[in-house]
Amino acid sequence: MGKYIIKKLILLIITLLITSFVIFLIFELVPGDPAVDKLGTRATPEAVEALRVKWGLDKPFILRYFQFVTSVFTLDFGVSYTYGISVSNLLKEKMVINLFLSVMSLMIVVVVSFPLGVYVAKHTGGLIDKIMIPLNQTAMSIPSFVLGLLITFLFGMVFKLFRPGGYVSYKADFGGFLYFLIFPAVALAIPKIAMCIRLLRGNILEEADKDYSLTAYARGNNTTGLLYRHVLKNAVMPTITFIGMIAADMICSGIVIEQVFSIPGLGQMLISSISTRDFPVVEAEVLMIALFIMVISFITDVIHAILDPRVRI
């Protein structure tokens, strides 16, 4: 198990280095000069060059990339061109918001989808199963931002359970912050819940038809015993993989949900930084999102290896 984890960690580091190079190269190839954008087209060449030197844009590409890579390990991404303050300080608060939003949404997905998926699989063909099929199709077909608009209208404007656009900072009121995030978290979770239920139900029914399940049933196991002792452990493996994909996707989907609920998270800062060519902020933010996705993938692989030792081979 230790060798497997070490191998995965080495692969994660290699992937991170490749990703960091691609990110840095993309922004290097983007036309335009951040110094000119900052000072304006009427600025003198001397002023533009002085600002380029201050920001380190006069240095060779490889040297600037090396400084960018080392900043990942020191968490010092330089100074924002627009705000004039540390990029790390800018990202810190935004990452907290998106992390709580993603974790809350993922918890809702797991808590709701697993019991429902097992239940509808156990009672396949029943009334609940017949109701869940069209509900699943509907939930999967509606984008999260549309659900966000519906939730805002229904629970914010009609039932007045929260104030639309009334984001509460976690520094001012942590309880109010968590309460406000429930609604965007639900908007993120609903399509994923539908997908998980459908996937888990299909996997359980598929495993239940295999020879080992039929043999276990013939040896005297009842439906419940067969499900929880034999079928579920094998059926849950693809669902865990999908949960990992969902967790990685939520940090990106949350960027769109932020705009619906007016949450000052990574999304708003990313859009404004791209428009102002604030490359240190954009590069650091994109790399942090990529790193988050890689870590989720690593955790998923480790869970697989724990549940199924054959994966380690």
What is the residue-wise DSSP string for 245-267? Answer: HHHHHHHHHHHHHHHHHT--SHH
Q: CA-CA distance, 7 to 16, in Å (whole number)? A: 14
pLDDT of residue 239: 86
Q: Please, what is the angle between helix 279-307 and helix 87-122, to 10°?
A: 30
Q: What is the pLDDT of residue 235?
A: 86
The predicted pLDDT at position 202 comes to: 92
Q: Name the band, by pLDDT with cuts 50, 70 and 90, for residue 156.
A: very high
Looking at residue 311, what is its pLDDT? 67
Q: What are the tens digits of pLDDT across the range 127-147? A: 888 888 899 889 988 888 899
54-68, 93-107, 224-238 — which is least confidently predicted? 224-238
Cα 93–chain centre separation: 17
Distance CA 185, CA 240 (A): 20
Residue 178 in tokens: 């968590």
For the chain, percent of residues with pLDDT exceeding 90: 28
CA angle 227, 229, 231 (to 5 degrees): 45
Asked if 242 and 195 touch (Cβ cutoff 8 Å), the reply is yes
Kindly list the structural domains of the chain, giving each domain's residue range(s) and its CATH number in brackets, ordered by start. 2-87 (no CATH), 88-312 (1.10.3720.10)
> Measuring CA to CA, how many Å separate 284 from each of 16, 73, 88, 89, 288?
13, 12, 8, 12, 6
Helix ranges, 61-173 (H) = 61-74, 87-122, 127-141, 144-151
What per-residue confidence (pLDDT) applies to 157? 93
Choose among 80, 31, 30, 37: nearest CA to 55. Answer: 80
Give the pLDDT score at 291.
Answer: 87
Q: Tell whether the model's pLDDT for residue 296 goes beyond 90.
A: no
* Predicted confidence (pLDDT) at residue 188 exceeds the cutoff of 90: yes
- Range 277-284 average pLDDT: 88
Assess contact for 199 and 239: CB atoms under 8 A: yes
CA nearest neighbour of 286 among 105, 89, 87, 143: 87
Residue in the structure block whose two tokens are 């380029």 = 52
Which pLDDT value is given to residue 312? 65
